[in-house]
Chains A and B, each alone.
Chain A
Amino acid sequence: MNVYDLATGPLVWLAFALCLGGLSVRTALFLRLARERDKPVFTGFEPRWAGLSILHWLLPLNVTALESPWVTLAGFLFHAGLLLVGFLGLGHAVFWNQAWGLNWWSIPDGLSDVLTLASLAAVLFFALRRLVRPEVKALTSAGDWLALALAAAPMLTGYLTAHGYGDPETMFLIHVCSGCALIAAIPFTRLSHALFFFLSRAVTGSDFGKRQVGAW
């Protein structure tokens, strides 16, 4: 087995196992802790408000979208590029199909390029914001840079691979490895918001909804 096979075989398995296993464990631990010592998480739960809250923030139907339109736009472009290309990019779709026999929609390469570049532009915007805006700069810690780098690396190397920049095999290998790092890191870093976004919005949405504030 060469490096290439290792990267696209066991490494990807390992990354997904860590990601899904990690998220399952974290969900279980969260629910256990909530049951033991944070009862309002359950007693206050209101499915309608939880659902609406999640919806209002998955779509730009919230006050922040109005008051901070640029950050919101960047946020959406960033996540759209990451998730759409990650799951549906043609190269990825072929890989899912060959590796696990999964068959779903794919998006054409041209669109993937646009999404990736927009997403990278958003990364750049976020990075600059962290450096330039004093109030954001003061909050920023090493973990924030790590999260940004973890997300940017596979997108950048993916784009470079697709367009033949650098040594194709090396670039591709870096792409796969950085992609695996991103996936594996989700449960163990701030990226866990992939899961906790929903739990947190459910808690807060229920709380604010009950008080007739609306879908927060």
Chain B
Amino acid sequence: MKRTLPFDVVSPMTVMAEAFREGRLKLKKHHYTEPVTFQDSCNFVRNGGNFKDARLLMGQVAGDFREMHPGGVHTYCCGSGGGHGLMSEYKKLRLATAKAKAEAIRRTGAKVVVVACHNCEDGIRDCVKEYGLDCEVHLLSNYLAEAVELGGAS
């Protein structure tokens, strides 16, 4: 199964952060003022090396960015990884064990959790709902798209 591919495989965060660094992607500085935290995904941050990319992009658009603890490469899984998003048979256990993540989010005091992974989106939405957190959940692309400075790319 393993063979060398004729192309690179990259994550959206890599592409967006690269474009931002090169000045191709213009994002409004501190477009958002509400306290916001970022769900470091196991796939992209722990296993994909996107930590700096995520901070670069979030730091640009978020005026009040709060780190989650534990976070970064020590991030807790959103609970929806490893196929858990699809396995309704284990949903009760998944929600019960999202407690650690819920507490990590609660401690940040953030009103928005930005996620950069579809699994995390489900996991965090369920977690926020189950533990009554006063948070919105947004996908990173949506969060960034709204802060795009148009006319800057030409």
Contacts and interface: CB of A to CB of B under 8 A. Distances in A.
Do A and B interact directly, with beta carbons closer than 8 Å? yes
Interface of A: 39-40, 43, 63, 211-214
B46 interface: yes
A43 B3 CA distance: 11
Contacts of A39: 2
Interface residues of B, number: 8
Q: Which 4 A-B pairs have the closest CB atoms?
A: A212-B49, A213-B73, A211-B49, A211-B47
B74 A63 contact: yes
A211 B48 contact: yes
A39 B49 CA distance: 23
Contacts of B131: none
A214 B73 CA distance: 9
Nearest to A216: B73
Nearest to B48: A211
A211 B46 contact: yes
A214 B47 CA distance: 11
B51 interface: yes
A3 B124 CA distance: 69
B75 to A, nearest CB: 11
Contacts of B48: 211
A211 B45 CA distance: 9
A209 to B, nearest CB: 10
A111 B47 CA distance: 45
15 contacts: A39-B2, A40-B2, A43-B2, A63-B74, A211-B46, A211-B47, A211-B48, A211-B49, A212-B49, A212-B51, A213-B46, A213-B47, A213-B49, A213-B73, A214-B73
A214 B51 CA distance: 12
Nearest to B51: A212
